[in-house]
Amino acid sequence: MKIDTALQVPLITLVGPPNSGKTTLFNLLSGKNYKTVNYPGSTVEYYTSRILPKYNIQAELLDSPGIVSLLPESIDEKVAVDSLYSHPTLGAPDLVITTIDSCQLSRHLLLPIQLVSSGFNVIIVLTMTDILAKRDLKVSENRLSKSLNCDVVAINGRTKQGVDNLIKLINSNLERIKTAEKKNILPHSLIENKTNLLDTFKEIEEIVNDVYEPIKVDKINLKTANNELKVLQDGSASNGFTPDEITIKIDRVLLHRFWGFLVFLLVMGLTFTSIFWIAQPLMNFVDELFTNLNSLVLENFEPGWLTFLISDGIISGTGSVLVFVPQILILFLILGLLEDSGYLARGAMLIDKPLSKIGLNGRSFVPMLSGFACAIPAMIAARTIPNRKERLFTIFIIPLMSCSARLPVYALLIAYLIPKDNAWLGGFLLGGIYFLSTISSIVVAWIINKFSKRIFSDEGSSSFILELPSYKIPKINAVINHTYNSSKQYILRAGPMILGFSLVLWFLTFFPNINPQVEKEGLTTEQIQNLERAERLEHSFASDLGKIIQPFMTPIGMDWRIGVSLISAFAAREVFVSSLALTFKVTSEDDEEQSTLLNSLTTAKIGATGEKLFTVATSIGLIVFFIFALQCLSTVAVSRKETGGWKIPILQVFIFTGLAYFMTFLTVNGLRFFGVQ
């Protein structure tokens, strides 16, 4: 196993169990501010950096996802183990630094024992020594070093005490490796076949009994130390150790079967409200910025396909990418604060039991909740789910959440259904829509779970075991840094595909580029442009496609004009309203547009039969359609990126669109059967 010769520097890989201080050590050595997380599965990717120049070590440092052993059970653990044996670009490491929590040696010593037995050059870094010191205990570095036959050093991540000793050990190990023969690294699966795991844990128990020692040797403290040591090794204690007193007191409320769930609903409600309301002014600003830029191009260039390509294709397409960035920023900022404080692990544990009924677990809840704001950041948030099947299943059902982009559609249809003098009923109807959306998503998820083995590759059932960390004050710099990186990844990974889809949709709605003939007398420039766009849309490829699907629209009481608007809505669901305005040639100013559009919808008739196009039945049917349908190319693009293929997004489009059509058919014809028109 060779190192990438292009680097010409040694490779040092950091490994360790979740919450063992690995990323904190990476930040100390590299000067970076990557996020330190508090529960397994939250770091699927790994980071690399050169060690800070002040340490005088020419080496590449790699931080990998948390693992508890060399036998991976999830995708992030597999990434970490694979990078150990042969990183795709960096090769195998010259030196492995493994962090272990000094308060949890009985659980954390398995990994370093496996690393040493596999032939890696290993340095063990003891963390959380300050917490252990509060119990008047410490770990003997010399005894642990002799027991495991590798170097051991203790550090304090907050005070940086012990970092200089670690640097000396790194230098001495790298010098020794230069002159020593290359070790033959064996996959641990081969070693595991020759040894008994039970014997390994017996060895760990003997080591733990030997290396813990009191800080002060006197009768009182020795007695205290023995009591603490007993607690540390007592299997009946939670996770093998006792948390600090503050954590215990807080958890009596936050993990209470009633008050804990109430607090959880409050926290998640505030999270949802923040994503929805705080982001809205920023999203409006982005939308207005690109709208003004669009108008600037149209006003200063001659009308033509190139001008419209730049304005409606490129500028509007770019805007459709960036308009979601405020929601993503706020989502990851809040999640980062909740993770670093230690609360999100509690929330996941509280909601685990209800979600287990539909084949998910507690980690799926935050992505699903975020889906009510926007499916795009919700799918990105699903990276925290370690089990591949459950992560794909969560991404699969997220489009069933009624995102904020559906609100303009709901608002228009509710305004059509509810008389102006009873507008207060609209709030109840909107609440009912969200309630129906939630219930239907649970039912659909339960049904899909029954067939999940045919849709998702099965990794077997995953156990939901969480280490509940002590409560901490979040590190703001690290949270902000992670929020920035997550938002940048969304723009770089999903942006090009969303823009590409937008350009395809523009082509369908613009060409074959007829020369529109409209009456211009007495109309403003904006009204003339709207009429010209309506003429182009009526004679476009999208319109032809809408007329082709007319046989599918007739059974649900609609015609090709609604079909064209549904096709246009694939750019974004909220486009449905503006597309209807274009289709029905509504040219009023913005503040009068909805009222004028409602009048046009009221008088619209189906050309072939002369029947009213918009009735109570068809309007409710459209609401039902948007509850289920995946009308968002941006969501499809992100689903493709997050699932690593086209299988899931294609199934989402066909299954949810088919379900939407079927439910709309039942709704419209069922209401007509009972005399509702």
How many helices (DSSP H) and strands (DSSP E) are in the chain? 33, 8
How many angstroms separate the CA atoms of 504 and 498, rounded?
Answer: 10
476-510 and 633-643 are packed helices; what angle lies between their axes, rounded to 10 degrees?
A: 130
Pick from 85-89, 424-428, 458-462 the range whose average pLDDT is largest.
85-89
| Mean pLDDT value across the chain | 75
Please compute the mean of the pLDDT values over residues 114-118 and round it to a whole number: 88
- Token pair for residue 263? 């607090």
Q: What is the pLDDT of residue 151?
A: 92
Q: Looking at residues 296-300, what average pLDDT do you find?
A: 81
Question: Which is higher by pLDDT, 323 or 165?
Answer: 165
Q: How confident is the model at residue 329 (pLDDT cuts 50, 70, 90)?
A: confident
Higher pLDDT, 468 or 358: 358
Average pLDDT over residues 249-263: 81
Q: 299 vs 619, which has greater pLDDT? A: 619
Q: Which two tokens stand for residue 625?
A: 């359609």
Q: In the chain, helix, strand, coil percent, each to 5?
A: 65, 5, 30
pLDDT at 660 over 60: yes
Q: What is the pLDDT of residues 535-591, one digit of tens each?
A: 776 777 877 777 788 888 889 888 877 887 787 777 667 677 766 766 665 444 444
The C-alpha R_g of the chain, in whole angstroms, comes to 30
Instruction: Note whether 656 and 400 are within 8 A (CB).
Output: yes
Share of the chain above pLDDT 70, in %: 73
276 with 373: CB under 8 angstroms? yes
Asked if residue 6 has pLDDT above 70, the reply is no
Rounded to an integer, the average pLDDT of 71-83 is 71
Q: Considering only residues 356 and 635, tell me which one the structure prediction assigns the higher pLDDT.
A: 635
| Residue 40: per-residue pLDDT | 37
pLDDT, position 105: 84
Q: Is the pLDDT of residue 288 over 50?
A: yes
470 pLDDT above the threshold of 50: yes
- State the CB neighbour count (10 A cutoff) for residue 610: 7
Q: Which amino acid is at 435?
A: F
State the Cα–Cα distance between residues 18 and 382, nearest whole angstrom: 18
Distance of CA 367 to the CA centre of its chain: 6
Q: Which residue has the higher pLDDT, 532 or 118?
A: 118
- Res 237: pLDDT: 40
* Residue type at position 408: P
Using alpha carbons only, give the angle 189, 195, 198 rounded to the nearest 5 degrees: 110
Confidence of residue 662 (pLDDT cuts 50, 70, 90): very high
Res 73: pLDDT: 67
627-654 pLDDT, tens digit each: 998 878 788 888 888 888 888 899 899 9
User: Within 13 Å and on the Cβ side, how many CA atoms surround 32?
Assistant: 21
pLDDT at 99: 92
Instruction: Give whichever of 46-50, 195-199, 239-243 has the largest mean pLDDT.
Output: 46-50
* % of the chain residues with pLDDT over 90: 5
Provide the pLDDT for residue 69.
83
Please give the helix or strand (H or E) that residue 379 lies within, else none.
Answer: helix 375-381
**Per-domain residue ranges for the chain?**
11-213, 243-401, 499-673
pLDDT score of 292 more than 80? yes
Q: Are 124 and 152 in contact (CB under 8 A)?
A: yes
What is the enclosing helix (H) or strand (E) of 147? helix 141-148
Encode pLDDT of 391-419 as tens digits: 888 888 888 888 777 877 787 788 778 76
pLDDT band at 625 (very low <50, low <70, confident <90, very high): very high
The amino acid occupying position 401 is M
The pLDDT, as a whole number, for residue 224 is 52
Is the pLDDT at 380 greater than 90, yes or no?
Answer: no
Separation of alpha carbons 625 and 620, rounded Å: 9
Q: Provide mean pLDDT across the span 197-226.
A: 69
Q: Are 362 and 369 in contact (CB under 8 A)?
A: no
Angle made by CA atoms 642, 643, 644, in degrees to the nearest 5: 95
pTM score of the predicted model: 0.58
Mean pLDDT of 290-308: 80
Question: Which position has the higher pLDDT, 608 or 91?
Answer: 91
CB atoms within 10 A of CB 118: 22
CB burial of 589-600 (b: ≥16 within 10 Å; e: otherwise) equals eeeebbeebbeb
Banded pLDDT at 469 (limits 50, 70, 90): low
Does the pLDDT at position 529 exceed 80?
no
pLDDT tens digits, 472-497? 777 777 778 777 776 776 677 667 76
> Per-residue confidence at 130, pLDDT binned at 50, 70, 90?
confident
Residue 4 has pLDDT above 50, yes or no: no
Largest CA distance in the chain: 101
- Fold assignment, 11-213: Rossmann fold (3.40.50)
pLDDT at 95 over 80: yes
Q: What angle do CA 509, 555, 571 make, to 5 degrees?
A: 25
Full DSSP string of 537-558: HHTSHHHHHHHHTHHHHGGGT-
Does pLDDT of 180 surpass 90?
no
Residue 664: predicted pLDDT: 93
What pLDDT sits at residue 436? Answer: 83
Res. 667 pLDDT band, cuts 50 70 90? very high
